[in-house]
């Protein structure tokens, strides 16, 4: 009986830890894409001659950032 209780509690605790790890990973991924990959992609597009595509993307991202900012 104690073994069953231990197994149930272990699944509850480690289930919560797994959810916390997933949330933390998702947050790190969002930060990584926002700070590293988006500017890198835009710079590569400009260097590659795709300014006509990079500029509208930059404008849309800027508008979304201004609307989403809680200032």
pLDDT digits (tens, 9 = 90+) for 8-43: 777 777 777 777 777 777 888 887 887 888 888 888
For residue 69, give the DSSP letter: -
pLDDT of residue 69: 65
- Phi, psi angle pair for 50, to nearest 5°: -105, 45
Give CA–CA dist 16/31, Å, rounded: 23
- Phi, psi angle pair for 46, to nearest 5°: -65, -45
Give per-residue pLDDT as tens, 34-66.
Answer: 788 888 888 888 888 888 888 888 888 888 878
């Amino acid at each position: 009986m104690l073994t069953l209780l231990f197994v149930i509690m272990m699944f509850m605790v480690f289930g919560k830890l797994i959810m916390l790890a997933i949330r933390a990973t998702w947050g790190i991924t969002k930060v990584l894409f926002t700070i590293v990959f988006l500017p890198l992609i835009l710079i590569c597009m400009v260097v590659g001659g795709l300014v006509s595509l990079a500029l509208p993307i930059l404008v849309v991202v800027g508008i979304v950032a201004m609307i989403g900012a809680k200032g």
